[in-house]
Amino acid sequence: MAATTTTAAEPRRLDRPALTGVLVREIVNFSSYWRSTTFSSTVEPTIYLLAFGFGFGSLVSTVAGFDYVDYVGTGTVATAVLFSSVFPAMFGTFVKYKFQRTYDAILAAPVDAEELVTGEALWIAARAGTYGCVPLLVAMVFGLSPSWGMLTVPFIAFLTGLGGACFGILIAAIMKSIENFNYVTSIVITPMMLVAGTYFPISGLPEWAQVLAQFNPLYHCVQLVRDAVFGFHGWHDLYHVGALTLFAVICWRLAIRYMERKLID
C-alpha cells in the first residue's frame, strides 16, 4: 500500500488545498442542513422587517429623510449578517471543537489552525453575504426601489460577515463553556445590534453612544448598505469599508491565535 518515499516540501502557509479542504467539508455538510438554515435566515429578518416596518412604521412615516420601511429594510441587512455570522461561528466552532471533535480530525490532516480558522470564516462570510441580501429583497417586495448600488450589498455583507465570523470564532476559542456565551450576547451583541442605526438613527442617542457606534462594525455595515442603496458618499464610505476591514483583520488574527492555543497542546 505504501506509495512513495519522497520527501515533499512543507506546504506554505494558507495554502489553497488546505483552505479548499476546509471549505469542501463545510459545503458538503451544508447540503444536509441548508433548508433549516435558509428558512431561519429568511424568516427572521422578514419578521423584524414586518414588526418594525409596519408596527413602528404606523407611528413614524419617515426617519432621517427615508421612508421608514426603506430605512428598516436596509438596516436589517446588518441584523441578518449578524445572525448568520456571529452566532453560527460561536456555536458551530464550540460544538465542532468540544463535542464533535471535528477539528481534531481536520488538524490531523495537512491543515493548520490558521487555515482552519480562515476556511471556516470564509465559508460563514459567504453565507452571510448571501443571507444578508434577504431583507433587501423583502423590502423590495414592500416597495423599496431597486438601484445599481444594491449589487454591492453582497460584498458589504460578506466583509461584515467575515469580521462577525472571526469574532464568533474568537469568542468560542476564549470561552470555556457554551453557557458563557450568554454574557457575550448580553453585553456585546445586543448593544451592537441596537446601537447600529438599524431601527432608529444614532443621532438621537447620547454623544458617548454615538462615539461607541464608531467602534461597532454593524453601524458601518448599516451606513454602507444605505449608501449603496440610496447613493454612495465617497470618502465616508471608504471610511466605513476601512473600519469593517480593520475589524475583520483584528478578529481574524486573534481568532487564529486563540484557536491555536485551544487546539494545539
Partner 1 sequence: MSHAIRMRAAVKRFGPITAVAGLDLDVPIGTCVGLLGPNGAGKSTTMRMLTAQAIADEGELDVLGHRLPAESKAARARMGVVPQLDNLDTTLTVEQNLLVFSHLYRVKHSERAGAIERALEIANLGERRKSKVDELSGGMRRRLLIARALVHEPELVLLDEPTVGLDPQVRQELWALIDRLRSEGTSILMSTHYIEEAERLADTVVVMAEGKAVARGRPAELVVQHAGRQAVEVYGPPQRLREVEDDARSRGWATRRTGTSVTILRAETLDGHAPDGERRPANLEDVFVLLTGEEVA
Instruction: List interacting residues with partner 1 (CB under 8 A).
Output: 1-5, 7-11, 17-18, 20-22, 24-25, 28-29, 32-33, 100-102, 104-112, 263-265
158 close to 102: Cβ distance less than 8 angstroms: no
Interacting residues of 219 by C-beta distance below 8 A, sequence separation 6+ = 195, 196, 197, 202, 213
Distance between CA atoms of 155 and 224, rounded to whole angstroms? Answer: 11
Phi, psi for 67 (deg, rounded to 5): -60, 135
- Per DSSP (E only), the strands in 20-155 are 62-63, 66-67
CB of 59 to partner 1, least distance (A): 45
CB of 208 to partner 1, least distance (A): 43
Phi, psi for 69 (deg, rounded to 5): -65, -40
Helix axes 16-50, 134-141, angle to 10 degrees: 30
- Per DSSP (E only), the strands in the chain are 62-63, 66-67
CB of 143 to partner 1, least distance (A): 40
Distance between CA atoms of 246 and 221, rounded to whole angstroms? Answer: 13
CB of 56 to partner 1, least distance (A): 40
- Of the two residues 106 and 153, which places its CB atom closer to partner 1 in the complex? 106
CB of 24 to partner 1, least distance (A): 4
- Of the two residues 101 and 236, which places its CB atom closer to partner 1 in the complex? 101
CB of 231 to partner 1, least distance (A): 43
- Of the two residues 245 and 260, which places its CB atom closer to partner 1 in the complex? 260
Residue 243 CA to its chain's centroid (Å): 14
Phi, psi for 60 (deg, rounded to 5): -120, 120
- Of the two residues 18 and 229, which places its CB atom closer to partner 1 in the complex? 18
- Of the two residues 18 and 171, which places its CB atom closer to partner 1 in the complex? 18
